[in-house]
Chains A and B, each alone.
Chain A
Amino acid sequence: MAGRTLFDKIWDDHVVEKLPDGTCILYIDRHLVHEVTSPQAFEGLRLAGRRLRHPEATIAVVDHNVPTTDRSLPIEEPQSRLQIETLERNVREFGVPYFPLRSRNQGIVHVVGPEQGISLPGATIVCGDSHTSTHGALGALAFGIGTSEVEHVLATQTLLQKPAKNMRVTVEGQVGPGVTAKDIMLAIIGTIGTAGGTGHVIEFAGSAIRALDMAGRMTLCNMSIEAGARAGLVAPDQTTFDYVKNRPYAPKGEAFEQAVAYWTTLASDPDAVFDREVTLKAEDIVPSVTWGTSPEDVLPITGLIPDPASCDDPARAASWRRMLEYMGLEAGRKIAGTKIDVVFIGSCTNSRIEDLRAAAAVAKGRKVAPGVRALIVPGSGNVKAQAEAEGLDAIFRAAGFEWREAGCSMCLGMNPDRLTPGQRCASTSNRNFEGRQGPGGRTHLCSPAMAAAAAVTGALTDVRELVPAEEPA
C-alpha cells in the first residue's frame, strides 16, 4: 500500500461512514462560530426542532461586525448590533461556549482558536469562514463552510464530504532579511494562481516552512484559500507541540503526552504520493506587494507594474487594464514609491503578537508620514494585553499609529473601519478584491513589516531599505 499524506491520515481518522457513491460522513472535532454566518443556521435548527449535538465541541465569538474602538460604548450600527445580539441569544438558547465582546479572550475567530488551544493538531476544524484554513498551521484539517453546512455540523457534528486531492508546496532554503511568511505565501499564490489549489488540500513543506514559527505558519495556511485550496496544512512538529502545550483548552499532563504521541504519527509518509507538487526556492522570494485586485497579482517590491500591452492573452490584458484603472496605477512604473493613504495592520492573516513585534521593529523611533492614517488592530484581547506588556503599544502610539481593540476591522468593510472611495491602503489582510475594504478602496497586500514601512514613509517601500540587513525584520 502506498504511503499516506498528512491529509489522508487526518481524513481517514475522521470518516464515520463511506456512502456507496464515495461521499463520506466526516466527523468534526471543533466548530468555531461567529455572528455573520451562523444566524440562519441556528434559525434552521429552531425551525426543525433540532438541538446541538455537541455544544462542548463548539465555540462562539464575535469578530466581523465589532467596532475596534472603546468596548464600553454601545454598538451604534443597528444591524451589527442585531447580529451580535442574535448570536448571544443563540449561544444562550443552544448552550454554546462563548467569548463575549468584553472578554479578554474575544478576538478574531482564527486567532482565538489556536491561542486558546481549542484548535489542535490532527483535529477536523470547521467554521463558516473561508479563512478557517488558518488552523491547518497546527496540522489540523481545517476548512471554511457555508451556512447550510454550519447548520449541518451543529445538528450532526459531521459533514458530507468527498476527499480533496493532495498538493504539496515545498519551499527549500533560507529566506533573506525582511522576507516573512506573508511574502512566501504571496509568492506561492503568484506562482500557482488563485485557482491553483482548487479541489486540493495544500501541505506546505521544506526547510523554509519548518523554520517558521506558528504565527508564520498560520499566515501561510490562512491564505491557502487565496490560492483556491480547500485547506492548508503544516505537519505538526516540536514547534507545534511547544505552542500547544499549556494553552487553556489543550490537553494537560499525561493526556498531552498521549496526544503528542499520536500527533507525531501524522506526518506524510516518505512514499506518499501527491497529485501535484510545486517547489520554490526561498532565496528567490523578496518582500512582496499586490498591485491588482486578485491576490495572484503579486509583485516583488522591486518590480514594475505590469503593462497590458505586453500580455499575450487578450482577456487577461483586458482584465489587467480594468485592474489598473480601479487601482489608479500606471503600467510600467515602479510599484515602490506608490503613495498610500491608509495602513492597516491586523486581520486573521497578520494580527498575532509576532506580527505586531515585526511592525513595531520598523515603527520604533519613526513617525507615521503626514496625511497617512495607520491602524494597528490586535487579533485578540490577549494579543493586545501581551503587546501592551511588551510596550509595543507605546512604540506605535509614539509613532502616531492608532492602537485599537480586537476584531476583523478593516479587512472586510463590515464594521466602521473601512476605506473611502479612492483611498489606497497598505494592508496586512488577505484579499485585495474590489471594494473589499470599503467601496472604491484600493488594497495592496503586504507583510506587517512592509505595512509599517509604508506607514512611516507614506509610500509602498522596500522594508529592507529601512531595516539594516543584519537585523532580523
Chain B
Amino acid sequence: MRAFTTLTGIAAPMPAENIDTDQIIPARFLKTIERSGLGRHAFAGLRYEADGSENPDFVLNKEPYRRAEILITYDNLGCGSSREHAPWALLDFGIRCVIAPNFADIFYNNCFKNGILPIRLPREICDALMGDARLGANARLTVDLERQVVCRPDGTEIPFEVDAFRRHMLLEGLDDIGLTLRHDGAITAFETKRKQAEPWMPEIRKTADGESGTSQKV
C-alpha cells in the first residue's frame, strides 16, 4: 500500500448527505477481477448522461475539480454496500483524502486499507472547507497526517483526530496481513485453546459437487 504522509491538492465540494457506495461505483461496474481501472466509472450515474456524455453540472466534470485529490461531503459518506471498489474507484480517479462529518463504518475502514485518508470534521468546518474548495485551483488544501492538521489556503490549520494504529499503518504504508502474521504463534495458541473449549464447532468439509447428500431443511 502506498504510504500517506502529506497531500496538497485540489478539493472538490460535494454538499450532499448519504452518498452511498452505489453512487460512488454502481454495481454494474463491479464485474472486474482487478483493482485498477475503475476511476472512469466513479460516480457514473451522476457524472455521465444516459448517452455517455459528461454531465457538465457535476462537480468532477468541472475545472479544476477534474484533478481533485480531496473530496469534501456531508454526513454518512460511503453508506450501503461494503464494496471496496468504492475506494478503488476514488483512488483510481485520483482522490487520496475524503473529508466529511462522519462516514459509514465499512467504507471508512476500506479507505485506510487503500492509502486513502478519511477525515472526520464537524459539519460547519466541512462547510468552510467547501467554501475554500469553491475558490478553485488557487485554493489548495494541505492535509498533513504526521501533524494531524488540514491547512486552509489562508494558512489556518484545522486539527483532526485519527486512530493511532491506523495513522501509523498509513504513514508507513504497512500491510495488515504481514503485521498480523507476526502474531502467528498467538493465533495458533488461540486455535488450540478453542478446539478444547468448543469441540462442537464443525469443519466445513469440501464438497466436490456441492451436494452433501443430506436432506435439506429450509
Residues of A within 8 A of B (CB): 16-17, 19, 21-23, 25, 27, 29, 36-37, 39-40, 43, 48, 50, 53, 55-59, 64-65, 77, 79-80, 82-83, 86, 95-100, 102-106, 115-116, 118, 120, 123, 128-130, 132, 143-149, 151-152, 155-158, 160, 162, 194-195, 198-199, 225-226, 228, 230, 246-251, 255-256, 258-259, 262, 294, 315, 319, 352-353, 380, 382-383, 385-386, 412-414, 421, 431, 433-436, 439-440
Q: Which of B177, B187, B211 has the most CB of A within 10 A?
A: B177
Top 5 A-B residue pairs of the complex, sorted by shortest distance between their CB atoms: A103-B210, A146-B84, A148-B113, A39-B33, A79-B31
Measured CA separation A435–B187 after assembly (Å): 43
Q: Tell me which of A39, A156, A247 contacts B180 (CB under 8 A).
A: A156
26 A-B pairs with C-beta separation under 8 A: A21-B165, A22-B165, A25-B187, A36-B30, A37-B82, A56-B206, A82-B33, A97-B207, A105-B216, A116-B216, A129-B81, A130-B80, A144-B106, A145-B106, A147-B35, A148-B84, A148-B110, A160-B179, A198-B103, A247-B217, A251-B201, A259-B198, A352-B218, A385-B218, A414-B27, A436-B22
In chain B, what residue has the closest Cβ to A115?
Answer: B218
Chain A contacts for B191, CB-based, 8 A: 27, 157
Whether A146 and B113, one on each chain, are in contact in the complex, defined by CB atoms closer than 8 angstroms, is yes
In chain B, what residue has the closest Cβ to A227?
Answer: B79
Chain B contacts for A431, CB-based, 8 A: 20, 22, 80-81
Measured CA separation A347–B113 after assembly (Å): 29
Whether A97 and B26, one on each chain, are in contact in the complex, defined by CB atoms closer than 8 angstroms, is no
Q: Which of B15, B212, B217 has the most CB of A within 10 A?
A: B217
B184-218 interface (Cβ within 8 A of A): 186-187, 190-191, 194, 198-207, 209-212, 214, 216-218
Whether B18 and A194, one on each chain, are in contact in the complex, defined by CB atoms closer than 8 angstroms, is yes
Chain A contacts for B210, CB-based, 8 A: 98-100, 102-106
B153-202 interface (Cβ within 8 A of A): 163-165, 176-177, 179-181, 183, 186-187, 190-191, 194, 198-202
Min distance, Cβ B113 to any Cβ of chain A, angstroms: 4
Q: Mark B93-135, 1 if CB is under 8 A from A, else 0.
A: 0000000001111100110011000000000000000000000
Measured CA separation A40–B176 after assembly (Å): 16
Measured CA separation A23–B176 after assembly (Å): 12
Chain A contacts for B183, CB-based, 8 A: 16-17, 25
15 extra interface residue pairs, beta carbon distance < 8 Å, beyond A21-B164, A382-B218: A27-B187, A36-B83, A39-B34, A43-B33, A129-B81, A145-B82, A146-B84, A146-B110, A148-B110, A152-B177, A156-B180, A160-B165, A258-B200, A380-B218, A413-B26
Min distance, Cβ A93 to any Cβ of chain B, angstroms: 13
Whether A195 and B27, one on each chain, are in contact in the complex, defined by CB atoms closer than 8 angstroms, is no
Asked if B32 is at the interface of the complex by the 8 Å CB criterion, the answer is yes
Chain A contacts for B20, CB-based, 8 A: 294, 431, 433
Measured CA separation A365–B16 after assembly (Å): 46
Measured CA separation A209–B23 after assembly (Å): 33
Measured CA separation A158–B186 after assembly (Å): 11
Chain A contacts for B217, CB-based, 8 A: 115, 246-247, 382
Report if A315-B74 is in contact (Cβ < 8 Å); known contacts: A148-B114, A156-B181, A433-B22: yes
Min distance, Cβ B159 to any Cβ of chain A, angstroms: 19
Q: Tell me which of A59, A99, A146 contacts B109 (CB under 8 A).
A: A146
Chain B contacts for A352, CB-based, 8 A: 218
Whether B190 and A251, one on each chain, are in contact in the complex, defined by CB atoms closer than 8 angstroms, is no
Whether B79 and A228, one on each chain, are in contact in the complex, defined by CB atoms closer than 8 angstroms, is yes
Whether B177 and A146, one on each chain, are in contact in the complex, defined by CB atoms closer than 8 angstroms, is no
Chain B contacts for A27, CB-based, 8 A: 187, 190-191, 194
Measured CA separation A259–B211 after assembly (Å): 25
Min distance, Cβ A59 to any Cβ of chain B, angstroms: 5
Whether A25 and B186, one on each chain, are in contact in the complex, defined by CB atoms closer than 8 angstroms, is yes
Whether B17 and A25, one on each chain, are in contact in the complex, defined by CB atoms closer than 8 angstroms, is no
Chain B contacts for A105, CB-based, 8 A: 210-212, 216
Whether A434 and B187, one on each chain, are in contact in the complex, defined by CB atoms closer than 8 angstroms, is no
Chain A contacts for B31, CB-based, 8 A: 36, 65, 77, 79-80, 82-83, 414
Whether B76 and A155, one on each chain, are in contact in the complex, defined by CB atoms closer than 8 angstroms, is no
Whether A433 and B23, one on each chain, are in contact in the complex, defined by CB atoms closer than 8 angstroms, is yes
Whether A120 and B201, one on each chain, are in contact in the complex, defined by CB atoms closer than 8 angstroms, is yes
Chain B contacts for A64, CB-based, 8 A: 27, 30
Chain A contacts for B136, CB-based, 8 A: none
Asked if B64 is at the interface of the complex by the 8 Å CB criterion, the answer is no
Report if A251-B200 is in contact (Cβ < 8 Å); known contacts: A382-B216, A413-B28: yes
Whether A148 and B176, one on each chain, are in contact in the complex, defined by CB atoms closer than 8 angstroms, is yes
Whether A149 and B45, one on each chain, are in contact in the complex, defined by CB atoms closer than 8 angstroms, is no
In chain B, what residue has the closest Cβ to A258?
Answer: B200
Chain A contacts for B109, CB-based, 8 A: 145-146, 149
Whether A228 and B110, one on each chain, are in contact in the complex, defined by CB atoms closer than 8 angstroms, is no
Report if A199-B180 is in contact (Cβ < 8 Å); known contacts: A21-B164, A319-B16: no
In chain B, what residue has the closest Cβ to A95?
Answer: B206
Chain A contacts for B209, CB-based, 8 A: 100, 103
